[in-house]
Amino acid sequence: MIKESVTNLDTNQKGLTPLVTLLLIVVLLGVGYVGYRLLSTSSQPSNQKTIATPKPKNSTTLSLRSKAPGIVTQVSLSKTLDPKTGLALNPTTTFSKTDPTIYAVVTLSNPPVGTKIEYVRYLNGRLLDNRSTSTTKVTDKSIVFDWKLKKTGATHLVGNYRVKIYTNGVFEKEINYSVQ
């Protein structure tokens, strides 16, 4: 009689194991499905309007500009600069590959202190280099960018160049030149 009750107990426990396993599988599948639905709905674009966040009280509103600010009035290229004025002497757009320096003189009109002037230079339609500087005085009337040959025997690359000038990230002027 004692032996029968031990056997019945083992049978009941073996019957519970598949039921508990099945229950665990169902719970895991349910959690996985809910996680999948949450992930897929958060990555899809919503047709709902976004709510604008209020602006801080001390913020400055920046207006979008599609029009050049007019700070850059002229860009000149030359092989030499006037030592007194710093302006281009004998402006040209044709240079030799052995010219020691090519100067780009950017003439400015009343730039506020801290105005960022930048050039982006292209050779035969491909980006070559860029550089920027900022005005330091209200009296800054021009900025000079130069491309010097660094080593003896070095040459400028032959081709057609385009230099685009930007003021605070906004396109102002461009000039083309060639090296032959």
Q: Where are the alpha helices (DSSP H) in 1-158?
A: 2-43
Single pTM value for the model = 0.62
Residue type, 7: T
The span from the CA of 143 to the CA of 149, in Å, is 20
Domain spanning 72-179: CATH 2.60.120.260: no
3-state secondary structure of 83: coil
| Model confidence pLDDT, tens digit, residues 75-124 | 999 999 999 988 999 999 999 999 999 999 999 998 999 999 999 999 99
DSSP state string for 114-171: T-EEEEEEEETTEEEEEEEEE--STT--EEEEEEE--STT--PPPEEEEEEEEETTEE
